[in-house]
Amino acid sequence: MTQAKEPCHRLFVGCPLPEDAATALADWASVELADEKVRLVPPDKMHVTLLFYDSVTPEVREELVGLMKQVSWEGVPVSTGARAAVSRGAVAVDLNGSPAQISFLEGRLARVSHHATEAHLHGSERRESDPLHHMAWYLSQVELERKWRRQKGKTLALHVTVARISHPSKWSSLREGQGVGDIPKSEPSRTTTSPPALSFTLDRIALYESFLENPGSRYEVIAEPD
């Protein structure tokens, strides 16, 4: 008799964008990407992902919900970058923050570019007093090791996804890692502009649950700090 598979949950920690900023980016994307085969992200769904959990048990889900309710979050001021780039099937706008604030956030997320070592990765320097840092350690060991290799020497890069590519094979104007401003002038069928210049604060943080659907995925906030 086959044993029933335990249900698992896809979760992520992210910062919802303020309404004004999200609306401005959505308006820009609706014009800039009007002729492309993409799914635009609605303004109320725009966010900056900080941690992603591919599969957790119901018990771990509840523990992460409890930790998120304890998180202290003072906000991170950011500004939009001058370009949007294609990466991993999405069109994303870069967000810039001060080096000091990004460095501090890296430490809270147990990243390894500046604040962690291999010893840190294997648990010798956990900050149990910081619930957000504690949440980072709920990634599986495989994910932690992959994260360590990928992040080594790289500064945390914040970005917000404004569209998902529906049919990558038909995506002609932008290539992987290429910015909007990098489109060759030999393609006169498109008028390209930089993302709007915005400054705002990521003043909220939340734990989301993601549900795979067709097309794309649906996600909802399941916990925020009390």
Are 194 and 123 a contacting pair, CB within 8 Å? no
Cα 173 from Cα 50, distance rounded (Å): 29
**pTM exceeding the 0.85 threshold for the entire prediction:** no
Q: Which of 27-31, 101-105, 140-144, 199-203 has the highest mean pLDDT?
A: 199-203
Strand segments, DSSP code E, in the chain are: 9-16, 38-40, 47-56, 76-87, 90-96, 158-165, 199-202, 206-212, 217-223
Count of beta carbons in the 10 Å neighbourhood of residue 89: 14
Radius of gyration of the CA atoms of the chain, in A: 19
- The highest-level CATH class for domain 10-182+192-223 is alpha beta
Residue 36 structure tokens: 């492309």
Q: 169-197: b or e for each residue (b if 16 or more CB lie within 10 Å)?
A: eebebbeeebbbeebeeeeeeeebebbee
Q: What is the reported pLDDT for 212?
A: 80
Q: What is the reported pLDDT for 128?
A: 62
Statement: residue 148 has pLDDT above 50: yes
User: Domain residue spans in the chain?
Assistant: 10-182+192-223
- Closest C-alpha to 48, from 79, 10, 8: 79
